[in-house]
Amino acid sequence: MQTYFISDLHLHDARPHCVDAFVRYLAERRSEDRLYILGDLFEAWIGDDFTTPMISRVKSALEQCPAELFMQHGNRDFLIGQEFAQTCGVSLLPEECVIDIAGDRTLLMHGDSLCTKDEAYMKVRPMLRDPNFQSALLEKSIAERLQIATDARSESSEHTQSTDLDIMDVTPAAVIQTMHSHSVKTLIHGHTHRPFDHQNVLPDGTGRRLVLGDWNEYGWHITTGSTGLILERFTL
């Protein structure tokens, strides 16, 4: 059995090469495999009731994928719901989830909640993840929701361009606190688009933080090799 982790594919009509690559990637998995998608599979998600040819194609590729599929929400696709998950045969995981990898407790998360220096985003995050806010949003018409998503994406890209790059990375103290609170020595996350295998991230000199890359120029995944977890880059 092989376990795979991916995140931040940001699937969108404007990124057809990523959609093609993901459909191929799913077809290459085997029935004994497990695939964990750690958020931001889609660039935007306005509700399970909205579809496009791209979304339908991704849904059927997920549905046909022989591997066992798990998914966490990202800061862009946090509105993905049970309807989508059930249709695609994907299990939705909580935003912080500990799994066992070869006897090692491993924490999985998208990673946005670790970027605590991004104060503007941290302020709105609890509202965005509030079930009441989300159901009120989902009651709006598709046209209204599309407009909100477009506005949010342009605000987010302005924000990202004007924010100091260090602010968009994780805060070491938040990493330590989160890893301690789950009693883990291994963390896998995405979001920052800074793929790297960080060693010795805890004050006692232990701890490993593996960061997935986004799919654009290359694809990235983490997989379980004979020596443990490995971060790999591949051509799309």
Enumerate binding residues for Mn ion (CB under 5 A): 40, 74-75, 191
Residue 77 CB, nearest approach to Mn ion (Å): 9
Asked if 88 and 69 touch (Cβ cutoff 8 Å), the reply is: yes
Phi and psi dihedrals of 46, rounded to 5?
-105, 5
Q: Is the separation of the CB atoms in 88 and 63 below 8 Å? A: yes
| Measured distance CA(62)–CA(79) in Å, rounded | 18
| Nearest to Mn ion of 40, 118 (CB atom) | 40
Distance CA(40)–CA(78), nearest Å, equals 8
Q: Which is nearer to Mn ion, 72 or 75 (CB)?
A: 75
Q: Which residue is nearest to Mn ion (CB)?
A: 191
Measured from the CB atom, the residue of 128 and 202 that comes closer to Mn ion is: 128
Name which of 68 and 95 has its Cβ closer to Mn ion. Answer: 95
Q: Which amino acid is at 213?
A: G
Q: Which of 170, 128, 185, 188 is nearest to 152 (CA)?
A: 128
Min dist CB 10 to Mn ion, Å, is: 8
| Closer to Mn ion by Cβ: residue 3 or 75 | 75
Give the tokens for residue 77.
């696709």
CB of 214 to Mn ion, least distance (A): 8
- Shortest Å distance, C-beta 205 to Mn ion: 29
Q: Considering the complex, what minimum distance in angstroms separates the CB of residue 112 from Mn ion?
A: 5
What is the spatial distance between Cα 150 and Cα 27, in angstroms, rounded to a whole number?
31
